[in-house]
Amino acid sequence: MTDQPPAYSGPTRVLSGVQPSGALHLGNYLGALVKFARLQHEMDTFIFVADMHAITVWQDPAKLADQTREIAAAYLASGLDPAKATIFPQSAVTAHAELAWVFNCVARLGWLDRMTQFKEKSGKHKERSSVGLYTYPVLQAADILAYKATHVPVGEDQKQHLELTRDIAAKFNHDFEAPGFFPLPEPLTQGPGARVMSLRDGSAKMSKSDPSDYSRINLTDDADAISQKIRKAKTDPEPLPDNLEALAARPEADNLVGIYAALSNVTKEAALAEFAGKGFGTFKPALADLAVSVLGPVGEQMRGFLADPAEIDRILAKGAAKARETAAPTLEDVMKLVGFWRA
Ligand code: AQP
């Protein structure tokens, strides 16, 4: 006998999103976009543009809609197919905000106080941060659970937020006596691109908000910019080792080998086997050629999609309609479980 509540028994579904808060970089591409395109062939897939998350820090209203189209273009250029995956803007589906409110009342302050991303993003000016930045992971739980998604492809930086989603789902199921109502979603973080680090500092993650453009490779960088950034990436004078243990002690080298492995779809061991004993004078040009050959066509396709914004809008509107339809019955059930008035 076990006292575990019954597990969720509904269908599997993938959900994830990216914020339209700046140019996408290699970390977003390897940690998220590539996985989305792969998973659409395996499960029912919902991918949104996280514009409600983006406004947790200031966004220029005159630019936000275009930034949303840019993320949609990046999705399409990375291989997401609107005939397979549902692609939509978060703010076009009110269920996210409605469910987030209920979850704000389920999540505990102590849980949110532990979120390291809030601490990093609010920095020294916590009291001047938006309340939205603080409750961001609660909205994230609503994004996922409005669709009863079971699998969430994200970079490793998002693992803690996924844990919070699981805690919220379990507490909701318990408090409202609805065992198995929400799934406890699994993060899909595996793979060599799960944590791409800054090209200037192997201990900081590659990020849109890093003030140095040399810290990241943007999806829209041309071949010259990509090569130059890799040439200038911080390294050390030693040749590459022949084992992962020795590599792990050298964060910048480890990062570049990880990027090489992820872009060529091999393991880090295999990448090391190719370059062990060789210096960065040999490795960096090989990495630059590889990065240009993979990212060049992505940037080109993005520009192609962006040349037809009306088509992007059609895809987003169609996706939003499907997303609304999918989330509606779950929201209705939540309203009833909570005990809200219904005519
Ligand atoms: N460096 C990274 N390595 C691997 N995956 C990453 N992701 C972000 N950075 C890396 C993954 O990309 C997805 C979308 O991220 P987001 O835009 O929604 O938010 P973020 O994690 O805040 O991205 P940034 O680039 O770091 O933005 P800023 O600088 O604004 O904080 C997520 O799946 C994330 O894991």
Q: What are the residue ranges spanned by the domains of the chain?
A: 13-195+308-338, 213-304
Ligand 1 within 6 A of CB of 21: yes
Q: Summarize the confidence of residues 177-203 as an average pLDDT.
A: 92
Q: Is the pLDDT of residue 27 over 90?
A: yes
At residue 72's C-alpha, the angle toward residues 94 and 63, to 5°, is 80
Query: Which of 159, 171, 208, 318 is flagged as catalytic?
Result: 208
Q: Summarize the confidence of residues 123-139 as an average pLDDT.
A: 93
Q: Summarize the confidence of residues 81-102 as an average pLDDT.
A: 98
Please identify which residue in the block is written with the tokens 């399409």: 76
Annotated catalytic residue 35: no
Q: Summarize the confidence of residues 12-41 as an average pLDDT.
A: 94
Binning pLDDT at 50, 70 and 90, where does residue 3 land? low
Q: How far apart are CA 312 and CA 57, in angstroms?
A: 25
DSSP strand E in the chain: where?
A: 13-18, 44-49, 85-89, 151-153, 186-188
Domain 13-195+308-338 in CATH 3.40.50.620: yes
Higher pLDDT residue, 193 or 333?
333
Q: Is the pLDDT of residue 196 over 80?
A: yes
Determine the pLDDT at residue 245.
Answer: 93
Ligand 1 within 6 A of CB of 158: yes
Q: Is the pLDDT of residue 137 over 60?
A: yes
Q: Is the pLDDT of residue 1 over 60?
A: no
Which atom of ligand 1 lies at the shortest distance from residue 24's CA?
A: 25
Structure confidence by residue, pLDDT tens digits, 296-325: 999 999 999 999 999 999 999 999 999 999
Determine the pLDDT at residue 189.
Answer: 86
Q: Summarize the confidence of residues 131-149 as an average pLDDT.
A: 97
Q: Report which of 137, 8, 153 is spatially closest to residue 80, judged by C-alpha positions.
A: 153
Structure tokens at 204: 């900081």
pTM score? 0.93
Structure confidence by residue, pLDDT tens digits, 13-24: 999 999 999 889
Which atom of ligand 1 lies at the shortest distance from residue 31's CA?
A: 5
Q: Is the pLDDT of residue 85 over 90?
A: yes
Determine the pLDDT at residue 225.
Answer: 96
For residue 299, the CA-to-ligand 1 centroid distance in Å is 18
Percent of the chain with pLDDT over 70: 99
Q: Report which of 15, 49, 192, 165 is spatially closest to residue 99, judged by C-alpha positions.
A: 165
Q: How far apart are CA 78 and CA 80, in angstroms?
A: 6
Determine the pLDDT at residue 213.
Answer: 95
Which atom of ligand 1 lies at the shortest distance from residue 209's CA?
A: 29
Ligand 1 within 6 A of CB of 19: yes
Q: Report which of 209, 233, 208, 211 is spatially closest to residue 291, judged by C-alpha positions.
A: 233
Determine the pLDDT at residue 2.
Answer: 56
- CATH says 213-304 is which class? mainly alpha
Task: Decide: helix, strand or coil at residue 236.
Answer: coil
At residue 30's C-alpha, the angle toward residues 241 and 120, to 5°, is 90
Task: Decide: helix, strand or coil at residue 189.
Answer: coil
Ligand 1 within 6 A of CB of 18: yes
**Going edge to edge, which strands form the sheet with 186-188?**
85-89, 44-49, 13-18, 151-153, 186-188
Q: Summarize the confidence of residues 232-258 as an average pLDDT.
A: 94
Q: Summarize the confidence of residues 136-152 as an average pLDDT.
A: 98
The whole-chain average pLDDT of the chain stands at 94
Structure tokens at 45: 């897939």
For residue 147, the CA-to-ligand 1 centroid distance in Å is 22
